[in-house]
Copies of this chain bind each other. A is one copy, B any other.
Amino acid sequence: MRKLKMGMIGGGKNAFIGAVHRIAANIDGLIELHCGAFSSNPELSIESGQALFLPKNKCYGSYEEMITAEAQLPPNERMDFVSIVTPNHAHFAPAMMALDYGFHVVLDKPMTLTLEEAKQLAQKVKETGLQLCLTHTYSGYPMVKQAKSMIADNQLGAIRKIMVEYPQGWLSTSFEKEGNKQAAWRTDPSKSGISGCMGDIGTHAAHLAEYISGLKITQLCADINTVVANRRLDDDGNVLLKFDNGANGILVASQIAAGEENSLKIKVYGEKGGLEWHQMAPNTLIVKWLDAPAQIYRTGNGYVSSIAAFNSRIPSGHPEGYLEAFANLYKNFALTLQAQLEGKEPTAEMLDFPTVSDGVRGMAFIENVIASGRSTQKWTEFKI
């Protein structure tokens, strides 16, 4: 085998999430940065790429140029996949083009600007048979996978209730007017889509709830708020949920929860017990029982499920974090591609990364939750 070659779209100097993607791709030594269209400004793209030690000819001035140029190279010399780390409005076109030219895709969430785009992308993935990995990072944590496997094994009994909350405080002020790029595009409908907070972090929360529980949201009732004056998109919301097995739930996402960092938490309750996971203490999973002491499951121990073990690198007590969770998505994606390159069937463990269908559900979540927020009816069906 060989390292896989990554071509990055976006992620130039000063961009945040591009650097995270590169670290995540670096960690396991399965992927090398091969080329990039780091900016729509060709000079900035070259400058960015060279700072990453790329030769100048691998720093393209646009993603179109990169995709067409790379596609003309022999298979072992061209990039294997693109990683798209641009704002939401610039996901769809490069992803479609990459797939059209035969490149696999890693894509940041939410997947597209609209549900309609998401469906087209799903159709394209289906037609091409290529892989698309959507970076719902939080599903990459080992203890999230432990939770998922315990529920799948029916250890908690039928699931009855899910509480997921994702409070952040960084948009408590009009940060977007103070020159913060991250805040600016996230609060701009032309770049972010119809939702701010729900699109940015509500989708993570919804994905996490469905991923861990194995259930699907069927109805929702949303209170969607724009708390900071003159902001153009929602920065806060509370949502009642119903799941396909009859369980109820609640989802809170907020970017005006002053003083909160990135405090994603989930609690799931079944007939026999419950579990609790906090993103900011990610190597611990508390499992609670009706008639016995609660248990503290911890990453890296011999007793964790095989899927949790597969997504952990170091012994117990050596904390793994967000970058390792992110790296698990890249690692599983890379192992899948390598297996396919070798003509093998990827294992279930390799295929454990969010795909285009998660992206479609995420876009549907956004559209449904915003529609519900505008409705005077209590319940809105979750439509795709």
Q: Which residues of A contact B (CB under 8 A)?
A: 1-3, 16, 19-20, 22-23, 26-29, 33, 52-53, 156, 160-161, 163, 165, 167-170, 172-173, 221, 223, 225, 227, 236, 238, 240, 242, 248-250, 252, 254, 256-263, 267, 269-274, 279-283, 286-298, 300-303, 313-324, 375-379
Residues of B within 8 A of A161 (CB): 227, 236, 254, 256-257
Q: How far is the CA of A288 from the CA of B262 in the complex (A)?
A: 13
In the complex this chain forms, how many copies of it are found?
A: 4
A234 CB to nearest B CB, Å: 11
Q: Is the CB of B221 within 8 A of A378?
A: yes
A295 CB to nearest B CB, Å: 4
A374 CB to nearest B CB, Å: 10
Q: Is the CB of A223 within 8 A of B223?
A: no
A197 CB to nearest B CB, Å: 12
Q: Is the CB of A317 within 8 A of B227?
A: no
Q: Is the CB of B271 within 8 A of A258?
A: yes
In the A-B complex, the 5 residue pairs with the smallest Cβ-Cβ separation, listed nearest first, are A259-B288, A261-B317, A262-B317, A319-B321, A321-B321
Which residue on B lies nearest to A168, using beta carbons?
Answer: B317
Q: How far is the CA of A156 from the CA of B241 in the complex (A)?
A: 30
Q: How far is the CA of A272 from the CA of B172 in the complex (A)?
A: 8
Q: Is the CB of B240 within 8 A of A260?
A: no
Q: Is the CB of A291 within 8 A of B303?
A: yes
Residues of B within 8 A of A270 (CB): 258
**Residue of B238, B272, B280 touching A258 (CB-CB under 8 A):** B272
Q: Is the CB of A22 within 8 A of B26?
A: no
Given A238-B248, A376-B378, A377-B376, residue A298 in contact with residue B261 (CB < 8 A): yes
Q: How far is the CA of A315 from the CA of B271 in the complex (A)?
A: 21
A5 CB to nearest B CB, Å: 12
Which residue on B lies nearest to A53, using beta carbons?
Answer: B3
Q: Is the CB of B52 within 8 A of A156?
A: no
Residues of B within 8 A of A20 (CB): 313-314
A13 CB to nearest B CB, Å: 14
Residues of B within 8 A of A313 (CB): 19-20, 23, 323
Given A161-B236, A168-B317, A314-B20, residue A274 in contact with residue B257 (CB < 8 A): yes
Q: How far is the CA of A251 from the CA of B281 in the complex (A)?
A: 24
Q: How far is the CA of A19 from the CA of B30 in the complex (A)?
A: 13
Residues of B within 8 A of A168 (CB): 317
Can you list 14 pairs linking A and B with CB atoms under 8 Å apart? A160-B256, A167-B269, A169-B290, A221-B378, A238-B249, A258-B269, A259-B288, A259-B289, A260-B317, A280-B317, A286-B296, A291-B302, A291-B303, A293-B297
